[in-house]
């Protein structure tokens, strides 16, 4: 993982040629350098990852799954923090085309190692310290991912299996001392997607994993009608799941979710409580928060879910 700034002379030459001969695309999701922001892009050869800290500007990151799967893991993983599988799918190898570029990824829930909670889970994008900073921009930030939805997807039959006797996610996740928060089983959920923030400790750093709080959105089915953020999904295709993190006049956290298709907002909802801990979103002060990561807490059994164009950037 490298920053574009590390190759400043080469970048300036390429930029000059681009402007002179072709012109350049100013789309921020393409992770071009803008306003001297550190740009992290998993679309180029990688060596050492960038080191970001509390003094760093908020990063701009994009993963189009064209070359690798970072930070969503490689292949199948059945130990550590997350369980399930993720694989790269090249354009032209199936019926589904990428949302953008030459490839996308498919993820699936899976069983974890014995004694781990939750016993089933789906892949996540972290936590990856290299992509975390211990601040939230004054103008907020956006974290989003493209998800391929099909009204024919199955829903969870018995809900996610979080372990017999203790249904919920245990924090810390190594099954040691820590509270267990209830997460009820829901039969009409196709999948749940969550983005996290980190509540900083007294030293101003992120305590992993205890500091993370998750803001979920679920895809549901009722009478065979698929819904996301009060929008009825009637056509299969790529939809952008967008979380907007900001603050109100008192500096309290606000989290809004938007479902976007082809540049149009199809549905939106304010996320007022956290997953697991059921804390009020407005109960967090943005001056004591850092950015987090994305996670699919549950995916219907047997569903290989296509995802693409994972990104985050400052501003709303």
List pLDDT tens digits, range 73-87: 644 444 445 677 889
**Within-domain flag for 24:** no
Which range is least confidently modeled, 21-30, 180-189, 241-250, 303-312? 21-30
Q: Which pLDDT score, from 0 to 100, does residue 128 have?
A: 81
From CA 50, how far away is CA 42, in angstroms rounded? Answer: 12
> How does DSSP assign 47-68, residue by residue?
-SPP---TTSPPPEEEE-SSS-
Residue 13 falls inside a structural domain: no
Total number of domains constituting the chain: 1
11 belongs to a structural domain? no
Q: b/e string for 96-132 if b means 16 or more Cβ within 10 A?
A: bebbbeebbbbbbbbebeeebbbbbbbbbbbbeebbb
Of 8, 6, 13, nearest to 49 by C-alpha is: 6
pTM: 0.77
Whether residue 20 lies inside any domain: the answer is no
- Report the length, in residues, of the chain: 316
**Pick from 132, 126, 135: which is nearest to 247 by CA?**
135
Q: What is the pLDDT of residues 127-182, one digit of tens each?
A: 887 888 898 998 999 999 999 999 999 987 544 443 333 333 433 344 444 444 44
Q: Which structural domain, as residue segments, surrounds residue 153?
A: 40-314
Residue 153 falls inside a structural domain: yes
**Residue 17 covered by a domain:** no
Count the helix, strand and coil residues of the chain and give each as a percent rounded to the nearest 5: 10, 40, 50
Of 118, 127, 111, give the one whose Cα is nearest residue 76: 111
CA distance 26 to 42: 18
**Tell me: the pLDDT tens digits for 100-138?**
999 999 998 876 655 555 556 778 888 887 888 898 998
Is the pLDDT reported for residue 286 higher than 80?
A: yes
Which segments of the chain does DSSP mark as H helices, in order? 8-17
Query: Quick check: 189 and 203 in contact, CB under 8 A?
Result: no
DSSP class of 17: H
Residue 136 included in any domain: yes
pLDDT recorded at residue 222: 85
Residue 241 lies inside a defined structural domain of this protein: yes
Longest CA pairwise span in the chain (Å)? 66
Contacts for 94 with CB less than 8 Å, ≥ 6 apart: none
């Amino acid at each position: 993982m490298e920053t574009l700034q590390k190759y400043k002379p080469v970048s300036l030459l390429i930029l000059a040629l681009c402007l002179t001969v072709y012109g350049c695309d100013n789309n921020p999701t393409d992770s071009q350098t803008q306003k001297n922001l550190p740009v992290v892009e998993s679309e180029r050869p990688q060596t050492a990852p960038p080191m970001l800290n509390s003094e760093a500007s908020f990063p701009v990151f994009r993963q189009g799954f064209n070359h690798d799967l970072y930070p969503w893991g490689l292949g199948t993983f059945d130990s550590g923090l997350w369980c399930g599988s993720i694989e790269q799918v090249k354009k032209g190898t199936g019926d589904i085309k990428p949302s953008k570029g030459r490839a996308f990824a498919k993820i699936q829930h899976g069983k974890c190692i014995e004694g781990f909670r939750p016993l089933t889970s789906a892949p996540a994008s972290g936590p990856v310290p290299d992509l975390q900073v211990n601040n939230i921009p004054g103008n907020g930030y956006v974290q989003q991912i493209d998800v391929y939805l099909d009204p024919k997807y199955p829903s969870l039959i018995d809900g996610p299996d979080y372990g017999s006797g203790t249904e919920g996610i245990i924090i810390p996740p190594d099954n040691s001392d820590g509270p267990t928060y209830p997460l009820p089983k829901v039969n009409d959920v196709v999948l749940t997607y969550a983005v996290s923030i980190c509540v900083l400790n007294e030293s101003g750093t992120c305590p992993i994993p205890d500091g993370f709080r998750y803001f979920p959105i679920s895809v549901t089915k009722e009478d065979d009608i698929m819904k996301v953020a009060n929008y009825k999904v009637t056509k299969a295709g790529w939809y952008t799941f967008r979380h907007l993190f900001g603050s109100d006049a008192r500096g309290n956290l606000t989290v809004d979710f938007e479902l976007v298709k082809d540049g149009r907002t199809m549905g939106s909802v304010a996320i007022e409580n956290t997953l697991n801990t059921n804390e009020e979103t407005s109960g967090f002060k943005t001056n004591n928060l850092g950015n987090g990561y994305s996670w699919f807490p549950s995916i219907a059994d047997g569903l290989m879910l296509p995802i693409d164009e994972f990104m985050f950037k400052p501003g709303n």
